[in-house]
Amino acid sequence: MIEVENLTKYYNDFCAVDHIDLQIHAGEITGILGPNGAGKTTMLRMLTGFFEPTIGRIKVKDLEMPGDSLKIKSMMGYLPESAPLYHNMIVYDYLAYVGRIKNLAEAQIPGRLKELSDICGLAEIMHKPVSDLSRGLRQRVGLSHALMTDPEILVLDEPTSGLDPNQIAEIREIIKTIGKQKTIVFSTHILSEAEATCDRVVIIGRGKIVADDTTSNLKTRMAKGADITLALAHADPKEVTDLLHRVDPSLTVRRKNQADPEAVSFQIKSLNDKDVMKDIYLAIKETDWVITEFKRDSDSLEHIFHELTKEV
Amino acid sequence: MSRIKTIASKELKDYFTSPVAYIVIPLFLIVTGWFFFSTFFLYDRAGMRDFFTLLPMIFSFIIPAVTMRLFAEEMNIGSYETLLTMPVSFTEIAVGKFTAAVLFTGAMLLPTLSYPVFISFLGELDPGPVIGGYIGALLLGGAYCAIGLFASSLTRSQIIAFIIGSAICFTLTVMDRLLVLMPAGLASFVDFMSASSHFQNIAKGVIDSRDIVYFLSIMIIAVFGTYLVMKERN
C-alpha cells in the first residue's frame, strides 16, 4: 500500500530522518514508535505530503510523491499532533468546510457529518466553537476531519498525547473500530499504546529504524531479559534461590526488602533469551509456598525500547 | 476553482465572525471621512480628488493589517499543516486567501460610496474621476492585498507580517515624492514603480492600460511570491 524508499530529511545540517526503507501493507495498523525527537512527526509529514523529502521516494499504490501528491492526499486522512483547528469556527462549519475542500458534493455533506458525529461522538458539540472544546473533544473533531472522505489510509500523529486516561481509551476504541477496514499509520512514544492498538510496530531512534516487527514478536522480545519480581509467603529464601537456579542456572536472583515480614521477595533476571515466568510458576506450584506477588517489571518492559533508541 | 471559492468564502467569513471587520471598517471610515471632510468645505469644489489622494497612504497601513493573519495565524496555530495535507494546491490556497482579502477591501470601500451620493446633492459631480477612482482603488487595494499576503506567508508572527507588508506598501506609496532627489535617469523608473502615481492617473478618470498592467503585475508577482514561499517551506 505504502512504499518508502531511502527516505531522508535534513533540516539544514540536522538529519531528522535518516535513509528509512519501509513497506506498509493494506489493512494493517502500524505504530511508529520512538522517543520525542526521534523523527516520527517528520516522517509522517513526509508521508502526508506536508514536507518534501530531501532524498528518497514515497509511493502509495501506483502513485508517487510529489508528482501525484494531490491524488495521494485525497486518499489519506491525516490528524496532526494536537489536532490544530480553526478556533473561531463552530464544529459543524469547520467540518463542512473540510468536506468542501476534500471535494464532497454539497448535498452529501450533512449526511456525512451525521455519520461522523455518530462514529466520533460529536452530536453534543456540533454547534460549539472549536475554542470552547476540551483537548479530547478537539482530538475527536480532528479525527472526524481525517475520516471525512472515508479515506483508505489514515495517518495519525500521537493521537492520544495530552489526553486523560478516559479520553485515551475512547480515542483508542475509535481507532480500533475504524482500523478494521483501513490502513492506519500512527505514531506514539507510549509503548503500551502501540501494543494495545497496533498489528505491527516500527521503532525509530534518531531518524533510523531500530526495530520493525509484529506487536506479538516485539512483546516476546521485550519479555526476554525482563526483570521479574517474585514474593512468596511461607518460604525459606535459600530454598527459593536453589529452586530458581534449578529452573534456570543462568538466572540472577537478588533478595529484595519486603514490607510484609511473612513473605520473602526476589528480583529475578534472566540472562538468556528465554521467557522463564512459566517455568518458575510450574516449579513453585509443586511446593507449599504461597505466591503473593509475581510480575514482570514494567520498567524492564520499557528497557529494550530505551536501549534500542539510545544506542543508535 | 471550487476550492478557491471555498477558501475565499471561509477567509471572508472569518473577517466577519471575528472582531477584525468591526474594528477595521469603522477605523477606515473614520480616518478617511475625517481627513476628507475636514478640508472638503474649504475648497468649495464638488469632487472626490482629495479622498483618492489620501487612499494610497491609508491603504498602506490598513490593508497589511487586514492581510497579516492570512498565513501567519495558520502557521502559528498549526492549522497550516492540516490545510496543506488536504487535496488542495498551493496556488488554490494563495489565490483563495488573496480573493478573500480583495473582497474585504471591496466591503471596506462600499460604505464610502455614500460620499459621492452626498456630494452630488451639494454640486455637480463629474462621474468620470469617481468611477475611475473606485476602479483604481480596487486595483490598488488588490496590489496591496497581494503584498500583504506575501508578507504574511513569510512569518508566523502577525506583527512582523504587518510591519513587512506596511513597509513595502508605504515605500510604493511615497516613492514618487522622492523624485526630486533622484538623478534624471532613475527618476522615470522610480515614477513608473510608484503605486500612487499609477493610482492617481486612474483616479483622474483616465484608464490607461499601462496603469492596469502595473497593478495586475504587482498582484501576480506577489501571489506568485507567496506560492514560492509556501513551496520553499514545504
Residue A280 falls inside a structural domain: yes
What is the average per-residue pLDDT within B4-14? 93
A142 neighbourhood in chain B, CB within 8 Å: 82
Residue A207 falls inside a structural domain: yes
A70 neighbourhood in chain B, CB within 8 Å: 87-89
What CA–CA distance (Å, rounded) separates A126 from A129? 8
| Domain match, A117 and A38 both | yes
Q: Tell me how many residue pairs between chain A and chain B have CB atoms under 8 A apart.
A: 61
Matching residue, cell 477595521 = B24
| Domain match, A214 and A159 both | yes
* Residue A48 touches chain B, beta carbons under 8 Å: yes
The total number of structural domains that make up chain A = 2
> Between A84, A89, A145, which is nearest B78 by CB?
A84
What is the average per-residue pLDDT within B55-63? 93
| Domain match, A273 and A156 both | no
What CA–CA distance (Å, rounded) separates A158 from A223? 25
Confidence of residue A253 (pLDDT cuts 50, 70, 90): confident
Nearest CA in chain B to A53: B234
Domain boundary (A221, A239, A271) is at A221
Residue A308 falls inside a structural domain: no
| β-bridge pairing A29-33 and A183-188 | parallel
| Domain match, A162 and A196 both | yes
Supply the pLDDT for residue B166: 96
What SS3 string covers A216-263? HHHHHHHHCCCEEEEEEECCCHHHHHHHHHHHCCCCEEEEECCCCCCE
| Domain match, A180 and A256 both | no
Domain encompassing residue A231: 227-296
Chain B positions contacting chain A at CB under 8 Å are 2-3, 6-7, 10, 14, 17-18, 77-79, 81-82, 84-89, 234
A102 neighbourhood in chain B, CB within 8 Å: 86-87
Contact between B79 and A49 using a beta-carbon 8 Å cutoff: no
What CATH number should be reported for the domain holding residue A241?
Answer: 3.30.70.1140
What pLDDT digit, counting tens, does each position of A268-307 carry?
887 666 678 888 888 888 888 888 888 876 554 466 666 6
Domain boundary (A221, A249, A267) is at A221
* Residue A135 touches chain B, beta carbons under 8 Å: no
Estimate the share of chain B in helix, then strand, then coil, as percent rounded to the nearest 5. 85, 0, 15
ipTM: 0.86
Q: Smallest CA–CA separation between B76 and chain A, in Å?
A: 10
| Domain match, A17 and A166 both | yes
Mutate to test the interface with A, among B18, B70, B85 (most CBs of A within 10 A): B85
pLDDT(A244) > 80: yes
| Domain match, A107 and A215 both | yes
The alpha carbon torsion through A92, A97, A99, A103 (nearest 10 deg) reads 160
Supply the pLDDT for residue A223: 62
What CA–CA distance (Å, rounded) separates A217 from A307? 17
What SS3 string covers chain A? CEEEEEEEEEECCEEEEEEEEEEECCCCEEEEECCCCCCHHHHHHHHCCCCCCCEEEEEECCEECCCCHHHHHHHEEEECCCCCCCCCCEHHHHHHHHHHHCCCCCCCHHHHHHHHHHHHCCCCCCCCEHHHCCHHHHHHHHHHHHHCCCCCEEEEECCCCCCCHHHHHHHHHHHHHHCCCCEEEEEECCHHHHHHHCCEEEEEECCEEEEEEEHHHHHHHHHCCCEEEEEEECCCHHHHHHHHHHHCCCCEEEEECCCCCCEEEEEEECCCCCCCHHHHHHHHHCCCCEEEEEEECHHHHHHHHHHHHHHC
Contacts of residue B5, defined as CB under 8 A and 6 or more positions apart, other chains included, come to B96
Domain boundary (A221, A236, A258) is at A221
Residue A304 falls inside a structural domain: no
| Domain match, A131 and A260 both | no
Q: Smallest CA–CA separation between A63 and chain B, in Å?
A: 14
Contact between B85 and A80 using a beta-carbon 8 Å cutoff: yes
CA-nearest of A244, A224, A189 to A296 is: A224
Residue A312 falls inside a structural domain: no
Contact between A78 and B79 using a beta-carbon 8 Å cutoff: no
What pLDDT digit, counting tens, does each position of B130-173 carry?
888 999 999 999 999 999 999 999 999 999 999 999 999 999 99
| Domain match, A170 and A131 both | yes
Contact between A50 and B81 using a beta-carbon 8 Å cutoff: yes
- B214 contacts B193 by C-beta, under 8 angstroms: no
Supply the pLDDT for residue A226: 67
